[in-house]
Amino acid sequence: MILNHKAVWISVFVTLSLGSAADAAGLRTRIFIVDSYNPEYLWSQDTAAGVGKALVDFQFLDNTRQVDELNTRFSVEGSKSVIKKAWMNTKQKSSKIEIGDTTARIVNEIKIFNPDIIFLGDDNAANYIGNHFIDREIPVVFWGINGIPLKYGLVDSIEHPGHNVSGIYQVGYTKECLEYLVQLVPDVKTVAVLSEDSETSRAKVKSLQAQAASGGLSVKIIDVGITNSFSKWKEFAQRFAQQADALVVFNHNTLKDDKGLPVDQMAAGAWYLNNIKKPECSDAKQFALEGILLVVDDSGFKQGYEAVHYADKILRSNKPPSELAVKAPERGAVIANRRRAAQLGISLDTANFVEEIVDESIALENK
């Protein structure tokens, strides 16, 4: 038995030594992924699905079992790559001090890991982590930046990024969602916008307001409510339900109760769905799954998938990030929630523009 234990330890030592040697020789790509949020967040699950599919398609990982390992243990070793993933959890830990501490910890982890490429998922990772690695030798690819991708100083222009950073951004399809909402509910003439106060959501609101100012919307925005107070968020929602024909509901993950404690997205969603009886639309599949009536999906899956595609171009086709134009993928599906439609007395029978139907309402089912 002692000899067997020794054999096992020798085998492990040899395996680790060979793995380290392979990495040092450049035979395995070292990839570090930073996600702005947390594993339970539906958007992050959607982007992770896109990343995982692309990692297999572009042969960074060997099979879907390794993808599952990455998505549960947040690290994996394949025959061609060693991948580590870190979470910023900025939906719950959103203060400047908390984000600063998280940023310092992850930057240190990246330096120790010494990756060949860094992926930065969504705005906070791009902003806080990205600015530590701009103009370094390590290429950086982001996904999920909302609105104008130049805003964090990581790229000079969309066509010519000019640095070691490029990636995928969210153009947003709320305008299109409002157009489909009017097709579904022709009486909608006015809308109000309900949103948390976060980097992500502020960008969405500004984009929608800019489109309204240019006359590009089919409806009139009569009010906007942006807050991280759950009590105030509920007050906005109730007032908007009295004043507007419909609502645009953006993210609600950084809401805090009166004691300053985080309010779960689904808890906020359950309150909204039970108390607000007006049609609404949003911009990502996660909200249709939650229970929102209509969504034109600014696909998280496509964001993650295209980011890995860029990494393949950078690492294997020697395409410098500085010359790799930043891009926004085409929209995802037009999605309607049948349960919410029934609650509001809206028929989906003639809504032939709807490309996907959701029958569940996670917010109500998780009560």
Q: Does residue 78 surpass a pLDDT of 90?
A: yes
CB atoms within 10 A of CB 103: 20
291, 362 contact by CB (below 8 A) = yes
CA distance linking residue 271 with residue 58, whole number of Å: 43
- Asked if the domains at 2-171+300-323 and 174-297+333-365 fall in one CATH topology, the answer is yes
Higher-pLDDT residue of 19 and 261 is 261
Three-state DSSP state, 37: coil
pLDDT digits (tens, 9 = 90+) for 21-62: 456 556 899 999 999 999 999 999 999 999 999 999 999 999
Phi, psi dihedrals of residue 365, rounded to the nearest 5° = -75, -20
Element (H, E) at 7: helix 2-24
DSSP assignment of 44-99:
HHHHHHHHHHHHHHTTSSSSHHHHHHHHHHSEEE-SSEEEEEEE--TTTS-SHHHH
Element (H, E) at 24: helix 2-24
Residue 167 DSSP class: E
CATH superfamily to which 174-297+333-365 belongs: Response regulator (3.40.50.2300)
Q: Where are the domains of the chain?
A: 2-171+300-323, 174-297+333-365
pLDDT for res 12: 38
Alpha helix ranges (H) inside 253-351? 265-275, 285-290, 300-316, 338-344
Sign of the dihedral defined by the CA atoms of residues 276, 278, 283, 289, in that order = positive
The HSE-up count of residue 163 (CA atoms within 13 Å, CB side) is: 22
Between 265-275 and 230-243, two packed helices, what is the crossing angle to 10 degrees?
A: 30
CA distance linking residue 72 with residue 85, whole number of Å: 10
Q: Does residue 13 surpass a pLDDT of 50?
A: no
Give every CB contact of residue 159 below 8 A, 6+ residues apart in sequence.
325
Q: Does residue 6 surpass a pLDDT of 70?
A: no
CATH superfamily to which 2-171+300-323 belongs: Response regulator (3.40.50.2300)
Residue type, 224: V
Of 153-162, 320-329, 358-367, where does mean pLDDT reach its minimum? 358-367
Burial 261-300 (b: 16+ CB within 10 A, else e): ebbbbbbbbbbbbeebebbbbbbbbbbbbbbbbbbbbbbb
**pLDDT above 70 covers what percent of the chain?**
93
The mean predicted confidence, pLDDT, of the chain is 92
Average pLDDT over residues 307-335: 97
pLDDT digits (tens, 9 = 90+) for 143-154: 999 988 999 999
Closest CA to 280 of 199, 211, 346: 346
At residue 92 the predicted structure's pLDDT band, cuts being 50, 70 and 90, is: confident
DSSP assignment of 142-164:
EEEEES-TTTTSS-S-SS---SS
Q: Does residue 112 surpass a pLDDT of 80?
A: yes
pLDDT digits (tens, 9 = 90+) for 194-223: 999 998 899 999 999 999 999 999 999 999
Q: Does residue 14 surpass a pLDDT of 60?
A: no
pLDDT for res 199: 87
Pairing outcome for strands 356-358 and 280-282: unpaired
pLDDT for res 74: 98
Average pLDDT over residues 267-289: 97
Q: Does residue 10 surpass a pLDDT of 80?
A: no
CA distance linking residue 234 with residue 157, whole number of Å: 39
